[in-house]
Amino acid sequence: MTNRDDRPAGPIRLAVSALFFANGLMIGSWAPKLPALMARLEISEGTAGLVVLMLGVGSLLVMPVFGAMTARHGSARAVRISALLALPTLLLMSLAPSLLLVAGAVLLYGGFLGGMDVAMNANAVAVERARRRAIMSSCHGFWSLGGVVGAGLGGVALSSLGEMGHALLVTLIFAAVLGFALPRMLKDAPDAREARAPLRLPRSPLPYIIGFMALCCMVPEGAILDWAAVYLQREMGASLSLAGWGFAACAATMAVMRFIGDLLRQKLGAVSMLRISAVVAIAGLGIAGMAPGPMLAIIGFGFAGLGIANLVPIAFSAAGNLPMMAPGVGLAVVTMMGYSGILLAPGSIGFLAERMSFSAIYMGLAGLLIVPLLLSPLVRTAEFTDQEDAAAAV
Model confidence over 322-360: pLDDT tens digits? Answer: 887 776 778 888 988 888 877 767 667 878 888 899 999
CATH number of the domain bearing residue 164: 1.20.1250.20
Taking the C-alpha atoms of residue 69 and residue 49, their distance in angstroms, rounded to an integer, is 31
Specify if 226 maps to a domain.
yes
Q: In terms of domains, do 177 and 214 share one?
A: no
Q: In terms of domains, do 275 and 175 share one?
A: no
Give the residue from 27, 22, 33 showing the smallest Cα distance to 161.
33
Q: In terms of domains, do 240 and 320 share one?
A: yes
pLDDT of res. 13: 92
Across the range 131-140, mean pLDDT stands at 89
Specify if 196 maps to a domain.
no
Q: In terms of domains, do 114 and 214 share one?
A: no
Q: Could you report the per-residue pLDDT of 282-331, keeping only the tens digit for each?
A: 999 999 999 999 999 999 999 999 999 999 999 999 988 888 777 677 88
Q: In terms of domains, do 220 and 332 share one?
A: yes
Q: Could you report the per-residue pLDDT of 66-123, keeping only the tens digit for each?
A: 988 888 888 999 999 999 999 999 999 999 999 999 999 999 999 999 999 999 998 9
Banded pLDDT at 179 (limits 50, 70, 90):
very high
Across the range 260-288, mean pLDDT stands at 94
Q: Is the pTM of this model over 0.75?
A: yes
Specify if 41 maps to a domain.
yes
24 contacts 142 by C-beta, under 8 angstroms: yes
Secondary structure (3-state) at 188 = strand
Q: Could you report the per-residue pLDDT of 205-249, keeping only the tens digit for each?
A: 999 999 999 999 999 988 887 788 888 988 998 887 788 788 888
CA 66 remoteness from chain centre? 16
189 - beta bridge partners? 2
- Between 183 and 39, name the one with better pLDDT: 183
* pLDDT over 60 (residue 367): yes
What letter does residue 199 receive in the DSSP assignment?
A: P
pLDDT of res. 313: 93
Q: Residue 386 corresponds to which amino acid?
A: D
Give the residue from 46, 83, 66 showing the smallest Cα distance to 329.
66
Across the range 176-194, mean pLDDT stands at 84
Determine what percent of the chain is predicted with pLDDT higher than 70: 91
pLDDT of res. 193: 52
Q: In terms of domains, do 267 and 318 share one?
A: yes
Specify if 128 maps to a domain.
yes
Q: In terms of domains, do 140 and 275 share one?
A: no
Distances in Å between the alpha carbon of 316 and those of 26, 213, 235, 332, 336? 21, 10, 35, 10, 11
Across the range 161-185, mean pLDDT stands at 96
pLDDT of res. 19: 98
302 contacts 249 by C-beta, under 8 angstroms: yes
Structural domain for 28, as ranges: 7-185
Specify if 134 maps to a domain.
yes
pLDDT of res. 392: 39
